[in-house]
Chains A and B, each alone.
Chain A
Amino acid sequence: MKNQLSKLLVTGFISLFAAVSYAQETPNQAISVAKAAIEQAVKAGASKDATDDLATANAWLAEAEKANSLIGAVVSMAISDDAKKNRADEIVYLASMAKIKAQTAEAKAKKQTIVTATQKVQKDLDGFLGALALAKSRHDEINKLKAELDKASNTIKDLEAKLKDMPKKD
C-alpha cells in the first residue's frame, strides 16, 4: 500500500514536471530570460559598441517589468481569465522584444570586437607579407649571385686546365 502510494506520488510529480516544462513561458520566466540576455550583451561590450540596441532592450524590459509589477498583479486578480491571459501574453511579448534587442546588441558588440581583432591581425599580416617579399627578393638575388659564382669558378677551372695543357716555352 505504502509502495503503491509512493509510486503514485512519483508519477504525479513526473507528470506535473512534464506539464510545467511544456507550458508556455510565464511573464516572470520571460523577464528573467530578457535580463540574462541584457547582462550577456553588456558583458560582450554592448554598452560601448551597441548603445542604441542596448538602450532599446532596457526600455522594453522596463515596460515588461512595469506591466508585471505588483499593482498590475493586484489589478489582474479582479479581471477575467481571458483578460489575465492577454495581460500575460503582453508581458511575454514585451520581454521577448527586450531579449531580441539584447541579443542583437550582443551580436553587434561581438562583431565590433572581431573587426578590431581582424584589423590588428591584418596589420601584422601586412608586415609579414612585406618582410616575406623582401626575403624572397634577397633569396632570389643570392641564388643569382651563386649561379654567377659557379659560372665564374667553372671558367677559372677551364682556363686552368687549358694553361696546364699549353706547351711550356723555355
Chain B
Amino acid sequence: MPKTRLFSYIKHSLTLIGFSLLCNQVGAQSISPAQRQEFTDAKTEVNNVLKGPYQKYASSELRQAQTSLQNAEGANDPTKYAQNTRLARAQAQHAQAVTELGIETDRLADTTQALAKARDDIAQLSKSK
C-alpha cells in the first residue's frame, strides 16, 4: 500500500515538473506583445529618420539601425529580439541627432559665408566713395 502511494506521489511530481518545464519553455521562446510594440516603435523611429535628409548626414548610422531591425525580425529568441529592437531604436535616435547636427553645421557655414559677403560689400562701398 505505501509502495503504491509512493509511486503515485512520484508520478504526480513528475507530471508537475514536466508541466512546469513545458510552461517555462513556452514562456522562454515566445516574444511578448510588449516586445512587439517596442519593435513597432523602433520601426517608426527608423521611418521618421528616413523622411529627413539622413542620406547626406547619417546614412551609415541609419544603415546600422536598419540592420538591427532586420536582426530583430529574424530572431526567434525573445532576448535577441528585444536587444536588437532596442539597438535599432537607439541607432535611429543617433542617426536623427547626427542629421540635425549636419543641418545646423551647414546653416552655420551658410551664415558665416553671408557675413563675409556683407563685409566685402561694405568694404567695396567704402572704397567707391
Contacts and interface: CB of A to CB of B under 8 A. Distances in A.
A139 B83 CA distance: 67
A142 B115 contact: no
B97 A115 contact: no
B40 interface: no
B118 A111 contact: no
Contact of A114 (B79, B86, B90, B105): B105
Interface residues of A, number: 28
B92 to A, nearest CB: 10
A118 interface: yes
B87 interface: yes
A132 B122 contact: yes
Contacts of A139: 125, 128-129
Interface in A77-128: 90, 93, 96-97, 100-101, 103-104, 107-108, 110-111, 114-115, 117-118, 121-122, 124-125, 128
Contacts of A36: none
B128 A131 contact: no
B91 interface: yes
Secondary structure of the B contact surface, majority rule: helix
Given A93-B83, A136-B125, A100 B104 contact: no
A111 B101 contact: yes
Contacts of B128: 139
A104 B93 contact: yes
Contacts of A10: none
A128 B101 contact: no
A107 B98 contact: yes
Nearest to A106: B97
Contacts of A132: 118, 121-122, 125
B103 to A, nearest CB: 9
A125 B100 CA distance: 23
25 contacts: A90-B83, A96-B87, A97-B87, A100-B90, A100-B94, A103-B94, A104-B94, A104-B97, A107-B98, A107-B100, A108-B101, A111-B97, A111-B101, A114-B108, A115-B104, A118-B104, A118-B108, A121-B108, A125-B111, A125-B114, A132-B121, A132-B122, A132-B125, A135-B122, A139-B129
Given A118-B108, A125-B118, A139-B128, 8 more contacts: A103-B94, A111-B101, A114-B105, A115-B104, A128-B119, A132-B118, A132-B121, A139-B129
Interface of A: 90, 93, 96-97, 100-101, 103-104, 107-108, 110-111, 114-115, 117-118, 121-122, 124-125, 128-129, 131-132, 135-136, 139, 142
Q: Which 10 A-B pairs have the closest CB atoms?
A: A107-B97, A128-B118, A100-B90, A111-B101, A118-B108, A125-B115, A104-B94, A114-B104, A121-B111, A107-B101
